């Protein structure tokens, strides 16, 4: 996937606190255990931005922290990040999140807030002691309660029970979370949730609070489906796979959000979503853009559920929106996709210790904050033992070894899939790795049967970027879907584990003088986000198709030449996929489709 760049990555930085502008608070006295210092990092007259920094200056690890202070009348916190805020009158309290409470000796953590008014904090306390370096009391946050067990499930209710959390000072109560939002606070270890919808999927977890009002980590999540409900016409689990990629960075410049899957009608037609992309760094899986993934706040009108995010809820961002989508469309399965064209260079190091890599991936997928969101993992290692954005020399067995380690770590209850090259040429990328041997460990391959030709060869010849079959004059033999699928089958990959790839975009050249394929060009045609690439939703109107070749549409307008798939060519490709016994189709990516999801509909209709 040549154009999978984080084009809008910089936008996230603009939305985070301006750490570089922080001024120092007055010098703290000599510390024996920990300090808490405050700085006003911005001031716009009617309001300001404040930042607290907690530092462990002692010799033992701190497992939780709580900062308290007083504001003068007329000054208050309006929103905050990286801490849980509460107030009683003019007295304010900020407690660590579940993931940033532990501070090793010498370590520090910062949290911030936006405020109204013009006052400054006073009477600071850190864990009940001095903020200027006094001994920090040893009050620890409670442990995570046990994962809830569901019983007495009816059309409209479910009973939840869980094992108690532990704490050095005792447990005060538990928050019950449904789909990440608090629905009740109880003193015991059971709760019956009622008023539910029949035949609907829910996810429940609990979180303990101690007598010092500290909250501990969220428990594991239990999935519950209420009884009853009618068939809603959504895809059955046994249907062909219709999978779409949702890009993490699309929430910026493209302004494409999870709710668009609902408003376009696509959510009722797809079966799976690949969330793209997690990064691969230092041989491990990691979340890439944490702001977009789990911190970006959504208003009620932007949200799938129609409810606005709050500053203190455990999970926000794309992950929470995907959780809401799954509650509304329980047939959808979501996989966390790692790699892609830009990040495939990290897999070589990962392959050196495949077991450790797999363990790191599962830790990300099963993070307690979003464990119920993901049903599996997808590895987009696009050029194992071959060259792409970089060159990989991990050897022909590395891909199989990685697949085997992932299956061993994730087990049979998770989906484990891979997006792979579609280079069907003799001695090409499919021949560089053991895709046949690896397939036994994977549920399916997303065969990237697109990007064969494009303006990365700036003088042409013009050719469809996603040809279904070969044709007279094709610039490179083996660069077509039929050749790739045939080669993978010959290597022992079952047809049912192969998904045909569809691009929701076109590739184009400029300086072209002939309408038919095979013409010369002078460079890349103009594109909205990248030269030589344009979304289908734009091309269908700006440069309508004038012909087809090898099962793909092409268009000639002015001196520009484009190729892309239309509902009609997708119908032909889906018919071919069914005749080949393939497991279904996938596409890159949702935001290229029209606002009414006509390409998703074409795939769905074609696979029936």
d(CA 512, CA 532): 13
Q: Are the CB atoms for 35 and 54 separated by under 8 Å?
A: yes
Question: Could you identify the residue written with the tokens 């108690």?
Answer: 164
Task: Calculate the CA 436 to chain-centre distance.
Answer: 28
Taking Cα atoms as reference points, which of 179, 135, 182, 165 lies closest to residue 32? Answer: 135
Check whether the bond before 431 is cis (ω within 30° of 0). Answer: no
HSE-up of 126 (CA within 13 Å, CB side)? 26
DSSP-assigned letters across all residues of 546-565: -EEETTEEEEEETTEEEEE-
Q: Are the CB atoms for 308 and 300 separated by under 8 Å?
A: yes
Please, is 111 exposed, middle or buried when counting C-beta atoms within 10 Å of its C-beta (0-12, 13-18, 19+)?
buried
Taking Cα atoms as reference points, which of 264, 283, 261 lies closest to residue 275? Answer: 261
HSE-up of 87 (CA within 13 Å, CB side)? 15
Q: Are the CB atoms for 108 and 55 separated by under 8 Å?
A: yes
Could you say which DSSP state residue 291 is in?
I
DSSP 3-state of 535: strand
| Phi-psi category of residue 265: left, alpha or beta, with phi > 0 → left and psi -120 to 50 → alpha | left
d(CA 458, CA 20): 42
DSSP 3-state of 176: strand
Check whether the bond before 589 is cis (ω within 30° of 0). Answer: yes
Taking Cα atoms as reference points, which of 217, 126, 125, 206 lies closest to residue 167? Answer: 217
Please, is 120 exposed, middle or buried when counting C-beta atoms within 10 Å of its C-beta (0-12, 13-18, 19+)?
middle
Residue of 248, 382, 534, 598 marked active site? 382
Tokens of 599: 């390409």
Query: Strands (DSSP E) along 226-306, which ranges?
Result: 241-247, 272-281, 284-286
3-state SS record for 491-516 = CCCCHHHEEEEEECEEEEEECCCCCC
382 included as an active-site residue: yes
**Which residues does the annotation mark as catalytic?**
382
């Amino acid at each position: 996937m040549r154009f999978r760049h984080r084009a809008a990555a910089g936008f996230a930085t603009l939305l985070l606190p301006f750490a570089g502008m922080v001024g120092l608070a007055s010098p703290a006295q000599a510390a024996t255990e920990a300090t808490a210092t405050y700085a006003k990092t911005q001031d716009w007259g009617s309001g300001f931005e404040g930042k607290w920094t907690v530092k462990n200056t002692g010799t033992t690890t701190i497992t939780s922290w709580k900062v308290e202070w007083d504001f003068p009348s007329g000054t208050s916190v309006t929103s905050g990040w990286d801490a849980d805020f509460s107030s009683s009158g003019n007295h304010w309290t900020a407690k660590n999140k579940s993931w940033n409470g532990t501070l090793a000796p010498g370590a520090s953590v910062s949290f911030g807030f936006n405020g109204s008014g013009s006052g400054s904090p006073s009477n600071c306390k850190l864990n009940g002691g001095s903020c200027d370096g006094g001994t920090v009391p040893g009050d620890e946050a409670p442990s995570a309660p046990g994962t809830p067990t569901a019983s007495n499930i009816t059309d409209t209710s479910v009973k939840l029970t869980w094992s108690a959390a532990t704490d050095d000072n005792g447990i005060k109560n538990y928050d019950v979370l449904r789909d990440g939002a608090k629905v009740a606070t109880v003193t015991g270890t059971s709760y019956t949730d009622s008023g539910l919808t029949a035949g609907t999927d829910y996810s429940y977890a609990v979180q303990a609070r101690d007598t010092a009002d500290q909250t501990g980590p969220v428990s594991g999540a239990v999935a519950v489906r209420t009884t009853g409900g009618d068939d809603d016409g959504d895809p059955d689990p046994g249907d062909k796979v219709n999978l779409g990629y949702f890009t993490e960075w699309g929430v910026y410049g493209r302004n494409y959000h999870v709710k668009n899957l609902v408003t376009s009608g696509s959510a009722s037609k797809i079966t799976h979503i690949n969330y793209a992309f997690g990064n691969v760094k230092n041989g491990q899986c990691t979340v890439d853009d944490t702001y977009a993934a789990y911190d970006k706040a959504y208003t009620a009108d932007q949200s799938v559920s129609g409810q606005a995010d709050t500053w203190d809820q455990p999970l926000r961002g794309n992950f929470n929106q995907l959780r809401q989508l799954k509650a509304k469309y329980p047939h959808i399965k979501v996989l966390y996709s790692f790699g892609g064209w830009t990040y495939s260079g990290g897999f070589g190091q990962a392959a050196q210790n495949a077991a450790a890599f797999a363990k790191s991936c599962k830790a990300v997928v099963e993070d307690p904050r979003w464990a119920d969101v993901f049903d599996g993992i997808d590895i987009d290692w696009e050029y194992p033992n071959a060259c792409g954005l970089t060159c990989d020399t991990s050897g022909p067995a590395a891909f199989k070894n990685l697949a085997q380690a992932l299956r061993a770590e994730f087990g049979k209850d998770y989906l484990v899939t891979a997006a792979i090259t579609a280079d069907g040429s003799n001695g090409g990328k499919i021949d560089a790795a053991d895709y046949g041997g690896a397939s036994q460990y994977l549920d399916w391959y997303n065969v990237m049967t697109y990007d064969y030709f494009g303006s990365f060869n700036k003088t042409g010849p013009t050719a469809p970027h996603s040809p279904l079959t070969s044709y007279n004059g094709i610039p490179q033999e083996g660069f077509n879907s039929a050749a790739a699928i045939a080669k993978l089958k010959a290597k022992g990959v079952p047809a049912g584990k192969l998904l045909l790839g569809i691009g929701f975009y076109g590739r184009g050249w400029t300086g072209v003088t002939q309408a038919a394929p095979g013409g010369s060009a002078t460079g890349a045609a103009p594109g909205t986000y990248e030269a030589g690439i344009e979304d289908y939703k734009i091309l269908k109107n700006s440069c309508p198709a004038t012909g087809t070749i090898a099962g793909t549409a092409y268009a000639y307008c002015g001196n520009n030449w484009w190729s892309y798939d239309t509902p009609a060519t997708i119908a032909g490709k889906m018919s071919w996929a069914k005749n080949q016994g393939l497991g279904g189709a996938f596409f890159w990516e949702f935001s290229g489709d029209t606002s009414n999801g006509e390409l998703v509909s074409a795939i769905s209709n074609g696979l029936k």
